[in-house]
Amino acid sequence: MEQYIEKDGKRLRLGYTTGSCAAAAAKAAAWMLLTGREKTNITLDTPKDIRLDLPVLEITRSAEQVSCAIEKDGGDDPDITKGTLIFATVTRSGNSGVDIDGGIGIGRVTKRGLDQPVGNAAINSVPRKMIRENVEEVMALADYKGGLKVVISAPEGEILAQKTFNPRLGIVGGISILGTTGIVEPMSEKALVDTIRVELRQRRAAGKEYALLTPGNYGSDFIRQELGLDMNLAVQVSNFLGDGLDLCRELGFRGALLVGHIGKLVKVAGGMLNTHSKYGDCRMEILSAHAAAAGADAETVREMLDCAACDDAVRILREKGLDREALGRVTEKISFHLNHRAEPMEVGVLMFSKEYGILGRSDNEETLLKKIMEER
């Protein structure tokens, strides 16, 4: 596929989703089964109105069944499924219409709150629609009145799934067949936010009213080692703190507790609800401003501004006896911006560093943590 987008000044190649692979493979297999002729390329119209022309691989034919594969190409997106083969096996059936299921390497849903109900193959709604419509198109062209069974598989899927969120989401045995547009846009922030949405929606479907959020691995480790909680209770929101809160409110959570390292959370004190470095790095400026408000002299402020890491700045505050007041002010500002974003939902914060432990906690932190623990 040779279509490109411009992102952050770079020319990046588009790719196509596992859903497009499954639909194209199913279309090709159905065509070969119903016409009796081999097909080495197949065209597919995606929901994004981009037409794909894809080589058909690993063809196996018999009178009652055809199997073939499409190779996944994510373009310049660093997707672990890039290069894997997505197979479709199409068989004549005694039923009417098109029956779709997952085979080897395709996950099964075991928990509520996902796109598919418990027990179904993890082939999401849009890919299912694409598969069905493309197979029905072939059936109409061939004037075939019977039924077809389509089984999607991915021989490498079970191994690849261990590197995805699937085990944590309750999707067992393989990868998911995904995609809402059929096209992969490289480095999509939307895809990351959609992953957060899935985890939060699943917790809400399980009856949880309070969410435990953390930016990343530091927070997850702290939750496990210092708070003694199962890290699977927490949803990692990466840099998307504001989006995570928006989703919590949208899904009807009553409250959320954000547990994070000072290196991330101090940016929130400056009103940054997306903490990615491309949007700025104001950590030392914020810490120095609050140090000054707590009584730090000009020399101390200059020394803090020259720090490369937050732990170094905290060390200076501790040496000057300013850490409690300065970090208390920072925590108050973090809490203000989080609650302003999430209103009317209640939000608490627990800020820590690996070297110094807990540095700040909002007044409602203990209450929210207790509610989260009660919902385990």
Across the range 266-285, mean pLDDT stands at 91
- CB within 8 A of 344, min separation 6: which ones? none
Contact between 19 and 177 (Cβ < 8 Å): yes
Nearest CA to 180 among 163, 161, 198? 198
Q: How confident is the model at residue 1 (pLDDT cuts 50, 70, 90)?
A: low
- Beta strand 346-353 with 357-361: parallel, antiparallel or unpaired? antiparallel
DSSP H or E segment with residue 359: strand 357-361
Q: What is the pLDDT of residues 116-128, one digit of tens each?
A: 999 999 999 999 9
Q: Give the bridge partners for 261, in sequence order.
A: 352
pLDDT computed for residue 2 by the predictor = 74
Question: Which domains are seen in the chain, by residue range?
Answer: 4-184 (3.30.2110.10), 189-374 (no CATH)
Output the furthest CA–CA distance in the chain (Å, rounded): 86
* pLDDT recorded at residue 233: 86
Q: Give the 3-state secondary structure of the chain.
A: CCCEEEECCEEEECEECHHHHHHHHHHHHHHHHHHCCCCCEEEEECCCCCEEEEECEEEEECCCEEEEEEECCCCCCCCCCCCCEEEEEEEEECCCEEEEEECCCECEECCCCCCCCCCCECECHHHHHHHHHHHHHHHHHCCCCCEEEEEEECCCHHHHHCCCCHHHHCEECCECECCCCCEECCCCHHHHHHHHHHHHHHHHHCCCCEEEEECCHHHHHHHHHCCCCCHHHEEECCCEHHHHHHHHHHHCCCEEEEEEEHHHHHHHCCCCCECCHHHCCCHHHHHHHHHHHCCCCHHHHHHHHCCCCHHHHHHHHHHCCCHHHHHHHHHHHHHHHHHHHHCCCEEEEEEEECCCEEEEECCCHHHHHHHHHHCC
Residue 234 clears pLDDT 70, i.e. is over it: yes
pLDDT at residue 9, as a whole number: 65
Nearest to 106 by CA among 90, 89, 81, 123: 123
Using the Cα atoms of residue 155, residue 159, residue 162 and residue 167 in order, give the sign of their dihedral: positive
Averaged pLDDT of the chain: 93
Residues recorded for the chain? 376
Residues 6+ positions from 94 with CB-CB distance below 8 Å:
146, 147
What average pLDDT score do residues 81-96 get? 95
Q: What is the pLDDT of residues 43-78, one digit of tens each?
A: 999 999 999 999 999 999 999 999 999 999 998 877
Mean pLDDT (whole number) for 244-271: 96
According to DSSP, the residues that pair with 100 across neighbouring strands are 150
Statement: residue 231 has pLDDT above 80? no
Res. 219: pLDDT tops 90: no
Beta strands 171-172 and 108-109: pairing type? antiparallel
